[in-house]
Structure 1
Amino acid sequence: MMKELKIENITLCLYNEGNNVRVKSDKEDVILSNQNIDNVSELIKHNLIVVSNHYFIMIDKAKESFDFEDVYRVSIAIVLYYLYMYNSWRSMYSKQENKDLRFNEKDFSDPSTHDIVFNYFKTRYPSNWENKCAVLFGMAIAELKDYYKTREDFYNK
């Protein structure tokens, strides 16, 4: 069985692979164990609304211009990352076996979320990524530069 989700100009294809669901787009490829397509489809839709709305609120009053497709692409990357993580925890940790797979808004402040945003905008806008990330994180440029340096230091220990 296969199902397609269309978000702006982005298509997510969901495929059954045994008891698992693979979610693919032109940029993403995630497998979710012990899931079904209908459940994953609803989770993606719900979580995408939560994540993209958060970022649309952040860009609403910004002087920086944003392409909505960029917001959707980075939101999809975040949604799939956390859906994979939350789902994996269900099978890895007995206390997490009933973990809610809906996006937890506290994860907007998680460094992994910021790393996804940094990676996307650094790749897409090499000369302007700092401005875009600062808007999405609600930070001043100087604060963002300091924070980004801590992330680089973390990875380059």
Structure 2
Amino acid sequence: MGIFSKKPKMDSRQKFLEIIRKEYSNLTLDQIKEELLDAVSIGVTDYYYKQYQRFRKQYPKSIKRYSSFHLKDLDHPTTHELIIKILKEKVGAEYKEPATKFLNMTLDEFKDFEKKREEFYNMF
């Protein structure tokens, strides 16, 4: 960066939350309780906000990329794991139905996802 260049500011945590909550609200089509929508949105926001802060320091040449939240980051296995963890904590054994909404999967797709996920973890 030149002497007159300013590094881009990172969006606020609130801005991240607004983007993520809106996306999950659209995905779940108001079929999920507000408290569950909030829990998942806040959990995912906290995770990504911290990651972006770390990545801005770790990858200074990519600082612009980590200044605003990118929706494509929601379609990541780590995000899926986080959502499932939050749902299991909040609703217990009944987590599958809301998970299909947040992950944009059918129940069969989700069962297949969980089977493959279990096989992956059993390798270690």
Q: TM tier, shorter chain?
A: 0.7 to 0.9
Structure 1 residues not aligned, in runs of 5+ = 1-38
Counterpart in 1 of 2:4? none
CA distance in 1, matches of 2:99, 2:17: 19
Counterpart in 2 of 1:135? 101
Aligned-pair CA distance for 1:111: 0.8
Decide whether the 8 Å contact of 2:21 with 2:37 is kept in 1.
yes
Which of 6, 19, 29 is matched with 1:60 structurally?
A: 29
Larger fraction in strand: 1
TM-score, structure 2 as length reference: 0.79
Aligned-pair CA distance for 1:112: 0.9
Per-residue CA deviation, residues 122-153 of structure 1 (Å, 9 max, x unaligned), is: 12212211111001122111100111222233
Decide whether the 8 Å contact of 2:55 with 2:66 is kept in 1.
no
Paired residue secondary structure (1:125): helix
Decide whether the 8 Å contact of 1:83 with 1:101 is kept in 2.
no
Which of 82, 92, 97 is matched with 1:126 structurally?
A: 92
Decide whether the 8 Å contact of 1:130 with 1:141 is kept in 2.
yes
**Identity within the alignment, %:** 25
Letter in 1 for 2:111: K
Per-residue CA deviation, residues 80-100 of structure 1 (Å, 9 max, x unaligned), is: 111111211222234334443
Structure 2 residues not aligned, in runs of 5+ = 1-8
Counterpart in 1 of 2:46? 80
CA distance in 2, matches of 1:97, 1:105: 17
Decide whether the 8 Å contact of 1:43 with 1:101 is kept in 2.
no
Counterpart in 2 of 1:45? 14
CA distance in 1, matches of 2:55, 2:84: 25
Aligned-pair CA distance for 1:76: 1.1
TM-score, structure 1 as length reference: 0.64
Paired residue secondary structure (2:105): coil
Counterpart in 1 of 2:61? 95
Size of the alignment, in residue pairs? 115
